[in-house]
Every structure is written in structure tokens, then in C-alpha cells.
Amino acid sequence: MKSKYVPGLWVLLTKGFNGGLTWKTLPIEVYDEAKKVSSMQCHFLLRHPHSFHLAKFFLKGLKSKNPTLICLALSHVYEFAAEKVEFCASMEPVEFFAHVKNSYAWSSHLTDNAFWAFTYKAFHARQIFLNTALKKGEGDPTKKPFALSLDRFREAFLDAYPLDPTLIHGKDDKICQENIELVEDILSTNKALHAKYFPPHLTHFEGQGDGTDKLLPVKKSEDCDEPSEPITCKYDGVYMSKIPDEELFFYDTECKAKHHDAFIDAVNKGAAGIKNKELAKGAGSVRKYDAFKRHGEQGNADDADESGPSNEGMAAPDNGVEASADNDMPDIKKLKIEDDEVAENMPEDGGIPNIENLRLVDEGEEEASSP
């Protein structure tokens, strides 16, 4: 695909009843001050400040303008998000979904804020569809991967962070004040997480979005409940036939295949950072000990600089190796030198050594003791 033209984001994503997403908010009455008239308008969730950026990198990363392929690629991203839902408790939504998109090469160039904005708008569009496009008691006939992946993430999130106290408190758990308080704490934490990842004003079907989406007039003939495509209740993979073979091949080999776990990379990087920090903290003492050891092995322990800081009272670093005879060489050599000096002053008959050679005496005593 050699064209540099970037179509609108709304052109690159599936719309209509079978897509399972309604990208228009519920109509609201808007008063026009200039014309002094009011009209019914709705927010279009695919036209906002991030739209061009998203469209550009969807196009650049997937090399396709095909809405079916783009939505298929997005479904794999959100399915992966559902697998990593346990990280939501320790990350803000922007950070969590940044790791999700960075796990795929094609989506890694999207900015963190743009992808999070697209995510909560997709959650919003799905809720509008489920609560307005379907009649009460009617099952969802849509089987499109993108819509299903959004449902899968929501279900996984609710399973990991339930809002039902009976799901938090096990049947076999003893009912006592301590357990009641524990359940209340967990419930409070889960509610806070839901407010972050599914903010009501941004994802509830009656919400109007973040206020950045373009307002569109609602025509009287426009009926959001009317399917724009025939209802297909069976997911038989027919939609794949709409994707050109070369584009599908490129996605399978160059996009989908280049998938890694950015969460593991982040954990390993953090662990390596801690390890390097600990090593750096103890690096000085290790170098001093090794230098002393090498100096002792050369037999120059008596020539060591005594002006430096004393190591008295400090335990020797534990390097995981038991003490060997080499470590005791300085003391053994010193003892041997002292024995040699004593031996030199011993008389040949093995008697008492000459005391004058062993201690200092006054000059007067030296003269008196001379023959």
C-alpha cells in the first residue's frame, strides 16, 4: 500500500449493527446561541483530537485500510489485555494499556494517551450498543472479534476484581469482624479500580464522552436501533474473505508474529535495576577486600599502608568461598620471620640467647657490662 493519504479513523473501523459497536452517543438537546435555536445532536466517538494519530499508525503498522483486518488486529491486542488483567491493580490505566500496545510491534508507535483514549471510547461504544441497539431480552447476534475482545476484558476484570461481597468472602471463611473488615477493604479497592478503568462518565451508555468528540446533528430519519446490515447470528469466519490475501499474510507474518510480553520485560528491567543498585552499593568494599587479598598473596603485608581507614571490628565480606590457607599467609609469614630473628640470636650451644641483641639498654649499662 503506497498511498500516503490517511483516511479518517471512522473509515478504518467497522460500523453498523453487526460490528457490535455504536460510535454515536445518545442524542442530547443543544442550544445554538448564535441562531437562537435548539437541535438534537450526538457526539461521534471516532472524531476527536487523537483520531488522525490513531488512523496514521493503524495504517502504517498494518499496511491496510481494511476495517475487518484492523478490527481483527485490535481484537488480539485486547485479548492479550484480558490475559494480563492482574497487573491492573498495580498500574494506572494509561500505563497498563501502554504495556499492552507495546507488546505488539505494529501498535507500539501509538502514544500512551491516544491508545487509552481510544480504549475507553471503545468501551463506551460497546455499552451504547448493548443498551440501545438490542431489544430487552434479545441476545447479542454480533460475533465480531473486536467487540468480543472488549467483552472478554471486562469479564476478566470483573472476575479479578469482583464487586459482589459474596464472591470475595469464601463460603468456608469464618464470619467474624476481622474477615468482614477485610472484605470491605477489598471491595473498596475494587470499586476504585473499576472507577479508573471504566470511568462512568466516559464508559456508561448514557454518558457523553470526554467532551472532545465532534458534535453531529441527529436527523429525524436517523434511527440508531435500525440494523444497517442483515443480522448474522452465526460466526462462521466469512468476514475473513473480505481481507485481501496479501494483507492478511503480512499481518500474520509481520504483525501478529512479532508479539512479546512487555509486562515481563518491565518486570525484568525493574529486577535488573534493583540488582545493579545493590551491586553498586557494595562495590567499594568488595574492591578493597580483593585488593588486600592480592597484596597479601604477594607477601607484602608488612608494607601495607596503615594511614587508611581501619577495618577493625568489621566482618569480612562473605563471597561464598570458605577460608583457605592462602588467606592466612600474611600471619604465617610474619610468624616465620620472627622465628628466624630469634634463631639468629641463639648461641650455638643452645643456651640462653644474648639479651643485648633482644632489647635496648642505656649507654651506662652497656659500658658496665662490657669486659
> What does the pLDDT look like over 328-370, one tens digit per residue?
445 544 444 455 554 555 555 555 555 555 555 455 555 555 5
Window from 149-158, 209-218, 278-287 with minimum mean pLDDT: 278-287
> Strand 37-44 to strand 214-217: parallel, antiparallel, or no bridges (unpaired)?
antiparallel
Q: Mean pLDDT throughout 162-182? A: 72
The helix/strand/coil state of 134 is coil
Q: Dump pLDDT digits (tens) for 3-49.
A: 578 999 999 998 777 788 999 999 999 888 888 888 899 999 999 99
Residue 231 is placed in which grid cell? 443480522
Q: For residue 303, is pLDDT > 70?
A: no
> From CA 183, how far away is CA 201, in angstroms rounded?
27
The predicted-structure confidence for 216-263, as pLDDT tens digits, reads as follows 998 754 544 443 443 333 434 446 777 888 888 888 888 888 888 999
- Tell me, what's the pLDDT at 230? 37
Q: Check residue 212 and give its pLDDT.
A: 95
Task: Calculate the dihedral angle through the C-alpha atoms of 62, 92, 269, 114, rounding to the nearest 10 degrees.
Answer: 30
Residue 29's SS3 state is strand
Tell me, what amino acid is at 213? D
Supply the pLDDT for residue 258: 81
- Within a 10 A sphere around the Cβ of 141, how many other Cβ atoms? 15
Q: Label residues 293-309 b or e (16+ Cβ within 10 Å = b).
A: eeebeeeeeeeeeeeee
pLDDT given for residue 137 in this prediction: 58
pLDDT top residue among 210 and 227: 210
- Model pLDDT, residue 143: 72
- By the 10 Å C-beta count (0-12 exposed, 13-18 middle, 19+ buried), 202 is classed as middle
Asked if 153 and 82 touch (Cβ cutoff 8 Å), the reply is: yes
pLDDT, position 319: 45
pTM above 0.85, yes or no: no
Determine the average pLDDT of the residues in 270-286.
40
Q: H or E segment at 44?
A: strand 37-44
Digit-coded pLDDT (tens) for 62-88 = 999 999 999 999 999 999 999 999 999
Identify the pLDDT of residue 111. 97
Please state the rounded mean pLDDT for residues 107-127: 97
Distance spanning both ends of the chain, measured CA to CA = 116
**Band of the pLDDT at 133, cuts 50, 70, 90?**
confident
Q: What is the pLDDT of residue 87?
A: 95
| CB neighbour list of residue 262: distance below 8 Å, 6 or more residues apart | 99, 100, 102, 103
Q: Sign (positive/negative) of CA torsion 54, 55, 60, 61?
A: positive
Asked if residue 97 lies in contact with residue 115, where contact means CB atoms within 8 angstroms, the answer is yes
Give me the pLDDT at residue 276, please.
Answer: 42
Q: For residues 16 and 14, what is the distance between their CA atoms, to the nearest angstrom?
A: 7
pLDDT higher for 354 or 318?
354
Residue 141 banded pLDDT, cuts 50, 70, 90: low
Least confident piece of the model among 193-207, 212-226, 300-314: 300-314
Closest CA to 72 of 356, 185, 179, 64: 64
Q: How far from 131 is each of 162, 191, 209, 246, 356, CA to CA, in Å?
A: 22, 22, 16, 38, 111
- All cell numbers assigned to 232: 448474522
**28-32: strand order across its sheet:** 28-32, 37-44, 214-217
Residue 198 has pLDDT above 90, yes or no: yes
Average pLDDT, the chain: 74
- Mean pLDDT, residues 153-181 taken together: 79
CA 260: distance to chain centroid? 13
Listed range (19-33, 188-202, 277-291) with the worst mean pLDDT: 277-291
Rounded distance, CA 316 to CA 288, Å?
A: 11
Can you tell me the mean pLDDT for 98-107?
Answer: 95
Tell me the percentage of the chain whose pLDDT exceeds 90. 42
Average pLDDT for 178-184:
78
- pLDDT-derived band at 184 (thresholds 50, 70, 90) equals confident
Tell me, what's the pLDDT at 239?
Answer: 67
